[in-house]
Structure 1
Amino acid sequence: MRRIAILGAGESGVGAAILAKKEGFDVWVSDRGKLKDKHREVLLNNDIKWEEGVHTHEEIFKADEVIKSPGIPDTVPMIVELREKGIPVISEIEFAGRYVKPTAKKICITGSNGKTTTTMMLYHILSQAGLNVAVGGNVGKSFAALVAEGDYDYYVLELSSFQLDGMFDFKADIAILLNITPDHLDRYDYKFQNYVDSKFRIVQNQGPDDVFIYNYDDPTIQAENNKRNFKQRMYAFSHEVELTEGAWVTTNKQIQTNINNQQTNMSIHELAQQGKHNAYNSMASSIASRVLEIRKEIIRESLSDFQNVEHRLEFVASVHGIDFINDSKATNVNSTWYALESMQKPTIWIAGGVDKGNDYTMLEGLVKDRVEGIVCLGKDNSKLHKAFEGLVENIWDATSAEEAVGLGYRLAKKGYTVLLSPACASFDLFENYEERGNKFKRAVRSL
């Protein structure tokens, strides 16, 4: 019996364990941290061997193959040693892809920003069209858990760069690349090109029957495209240029999609999710939907009634004329740029957390124009202070969501917005961006 060792017992690792057990492997799950109760229960119920708080070297090195959590860097000594010994180390996505029925379509979305919204948007369209579709990957359930539980015809998968790094033979039938801006550079030896190469793994193994959908306005994507020879069908989307094929915004603010000489038009004002970034997400979703021959009416209706994901520019409440918006999922500078760009009122900006090598210069113009005060929510806020002192009069520090909301409320006036859009990771004060967003919402509702 072939042995699989799984490092990390989060959503990804537990999903991989269930699928591996179903496919007849001898499975060993190891997590150096403490397992969540729900994950421990799943492993126990499925009679899967596991350990927590330690990695037992002997057990792991018995494996024929190792599935690694996306959160574990390739530079960890154990991963380096496994590869030196010739034991393959792969991602859960790579593993799950082996057990999808050949006729199923995998629509894969990546990018520095907007990938969760686009993934859920596309899932909404395909669901409205009545297709047998599942959504997962870096959002919701793991791909492996979806493959283990059902026989879907379509998988809409959000893929992070960390997941892409562990994928080798996996192939996307439709690959969507939304944008590339510096992010996670600490994992890529602080070299932007390494991160770019990681994102472009979304198109690996694609052939003439596959599709690559990309952002025409992104200079990094365009520069990289010019270096490569593509075999697949390619469709671009643009907010700046009127194209002949793909999707674009016309001078009279219509989103026009043209695939195989079949045209679809929709006013940009009809989109449920407003803002330039959501126009990009909508165009990418529209192209993929037309490639899959979804009816134009269903696409239009779905884009006009789609509800955004939690923690992404999520309106929380209006308190005495002050709006509170939760954008906790904005864990990098570019994502926060989109959030600030969409603010129509004077803004108190709550930012901070674990800085991943951020360059805040791209935010300076927006901060000058729209931000009346900054609340820094993190253990070390020195870089934020250095970047924005002199641009705004008030910069305060907070070490809890409750304190940050209280400061934001006091700094704001009627007609202002208090925006949580951290531009940083959350794990100095919170377990993840969801906990940060939920605590922000609770604090707002208790005002």
Structure 2
Amino acid sequence: MEVKSIAILGGGESGVGTAILAKKEGFKIFVSDKGKIKDKYKEVLKHHEIEWEEYTHSEERILTASVVMKSPGIPDNAPLVLKLKGKGIPVISEIEFASEFTSAEVIGITGSNGKTTTTKFVHHILKSGNISAGMAGNVGDSFAKQVAENEFDWYVLELSSFQLDGILNFRPKIAVLTNITADHLDRYEYSLDNYIESKFRITKNQTESDFFIYDADDENIIKWLDKNQIKAQKLPFSLEKKFENGAFLENDEIIVKINNTQFNMPTTDLSLQGKHNTKNAMAAATVAQLLRIRKQTIRESMENFQGVEHRLEKVLKINNVMYINDSKATNINATFYALESMETETVWIVGGVDKGNVYSDLLPLVNEKVKAIICLGVDNAKIMAAFGNCVDTIVETQSMDEAVKIAYKIAEKNESVLLSPACASFDLFENYEDRGRQFKEAVRNL
């Protein structure tokens, strides 16, 4: 039998995970990264005796592969990707590749915001209910690596639109769509419709025996569902409407109804407060109900769930000023939630790589809650233009240390300092985690 060959573009978490699984499944493998491969990943590739290259793509070699897995960071219109497609070579995501080698059922979670929190929430409830479950995708070890090394009954996967763009047959038993707001439009020809189509790929291979859980208050989702048919059974959640089957609010209680079974829990008992977290909890509770986890277990899990690092994470109180790390807010909508949840006057640290942001949505909240703005980015012109007239103080900075020191000078007793950038981090930081850690470090050094 001919040995299948796979070329892997990108030597990061998803690329190296795919290589480990491909090796186990007997593929001939070549890993190619246009940039530097981190030492920790090189060690893994050497250990598994997998061929790799960095700082270049050997095109002749890549164009002979029977299948190509590309990392989510590489755009679909990259010249090499277009050449591969022109030759009819399938270009897939790690999610597609790994799903072919596991019989575990999958819970796939996507959305512009809330997907990490919801993924961790669902995984936490499943573990508390003694269900054997791995968590992967954009969180933790890669899906492919876990499929190679573990035997789980279920996987909870956090899926970005880029990962969904690279699927052919991937089919989650339960799909969750938390919301859709303009994000990453630079990768979708600045078309919101293209981005929406991408998110809905999560349900494209689902059948009548599968489930689709979604936010019924989200205009973009509802408009798409009005015009398009899906096969999966729909389970909406909402803060405003009520359903025969789905999750809703009644007298400050979350109620989840599925086929005449009902789960309820007061929102005041949730460990994470705020409207957006109530929705994340509704989505997670709906999944838990589908898997028939004991109601007591679901309630206890929701009371003790700790949340996600870099998402409205309280760092320290200094001189009665609370410092909050929301570095994970890489788009306008996430920052909207953060500002909405602030209950004090706020010094807001914002900026980075703008993905086509429209800042006007934030104006009412900035007028109401923000006393000063500290820009943290290489190019802050758009932020200065959007908010220059709203606040008395707006300052430009180029490092986290400088931003935090200025915030310390401006913030007064009973106020807050909020890092919620509304932008990607790649101009000054390695990623949003690096940005959040530098913020926490700078705060602790005050």
1:127 partnered with 2:127: yes
- Structure 1 runs of 4+ aligned residues shifted over 4 Å read none
Q: How does 1:10-49 map to 2 (within 5 A)?
A: 10-49=12-51
Alpha-carbon distance between aligned partners in 2 of 1:113 and 1:346, rounded to the nearest angstrom? 25
Q: How does 1:125-204 map to 2 (within 5 A)?
A: 125-204=125-204
Alpha-carbon distance between aligned partners in 2 of 1:185 and 1:231, rounded to the nearest angstrom? 28
- CA shift digits 1:204-244 (9 cap, x unpaired): 11101100000010011000001122221110000112223
**Structure 1 counterpart of 2:72, from 70, 73, 79:** 70
The answer to whether the 8 A contact 2:270-2:303 is kept is: yes
SS at match of 1:135: strand
| Deviation at residue 337 of structure 1 after TM alignment | 0.2
- CA shift digits 1:98-141 (9 cap, x unpaired): 0012xx21000000000000000000000000111100101111
| Deviation at residue 88 of structure 1 after TM alignment | 0.9
Q: How does 1:268-307 map to 2 (within 5 A)?
A: 268-307=267-306
SS at match of 1:226: helix
| Deviation at residue 258 of structure 1 after TM alignment | 0.8
1:113 partnered with 2:113: yes
- CA shift digits 1:41-81 (9 cap, x unpaired): 10000000001111111221121110000000011100000
Aligned to 2:316: 317
| Deviation at residue 168 of structure 1 after TM alignment | 1.1
| Deviation at residue 389 of structure 1 after TM alignment | 1.1
Alpha-carbon distance between aligned partners in 2 of 1:325 and 1:272, rounded to the nearest angstrom? 17
Q: Across the two proteins, how many residue pairs are aligned to each other?
A: 444
Letter in 2 for 1:307: Q
- CA shift digits 1:163-216 (9 cap, x unpaired): 000011110110000100000000000011000000000101110110000001
Letter in 2 for 1:427: F
1:214 partnered with 2:214: yes
Letter in 1 for 2:75: P
The answer to whether the 8 A contact 2:112-2:181 is kept is: yes
- CA shift digits 1:15-65 (9 cap, x unpaired): 000000000000000001111111011000000000111111122112111
Alpha-carbon distance between aligned partners in 2 of 1:357 and 1:119, rounded to the nearest angstrom? 26
Q: Which runs of 5+ in 1 are unaligned?
A: none
1:224 partnered with 2:224: yes
- CA shift digits 1:249-304 (9 cap, x unpaired): 11x21111111111111111100000000000000000011011111111111011
SS at match of 1:255: strand
Alpha-carbon distance between aligned partners in 2 of 1:105 and 1:85, rounded to the nearest angstrom? 33
Aligned to 2:345: 346
Alpha-carbon distance between aligned partners in 2 of 1:352 and 1:174, rounded to the nearest angstrom? 36
Aligned to 1:8: 10
Letter in 2 for 1:83: K
Alpha-carbon distance between aligned partners in 1 of 2:299 and 2:397, rounded to the nearest angstrom? 43
Aligned to 1:332: 331
Percent identical residues? 55
Aligned to 1:384: 383
Alpha-carbon distance between aligned partners in 2 of 1:334 and 1:378, rounded to the nearest angstrom? 19
Alpha-carbon distance between aligned partners in 2 of 1:395 and 1:299, rounded to the nearest angstrom? 45
Alpha-carbon distance between aligned partners in 2 of 1:263 and 1:12, rounded to the nearest angstrom? 39
Alpha-carbon distance between aligned partners in 1 of 2:227 and 2:168, rounded to the nearest angstrom? 21
Aligned to 2:85: 83
Aligned to 1:308: 307
SS at match of 2:109: strand
Q: Which runs of 5+ in 2 are unaligned?
A: none
Aligned to 2:417: 418
Give the superposed CA RMSD: 0.7
- CA shift digits 1:381-435 (9 cap, x unpaired): 0000100011111111111110111111111001011000000000000010010
Alpha-carbon distance between aligned partners in 2 of 1:244 and 1:270, rounded to the nearest angstrom? 24
Q: How does 1:348-367 map to 2 (within 5 A)?
A: 348-367=347-366
The answer to whether the 8 A contact 2:204-2:230 is kept is: no
SS at match of 2:227: coil
Aligned to 1:240: 240
1:94 partnered with 2:93: no
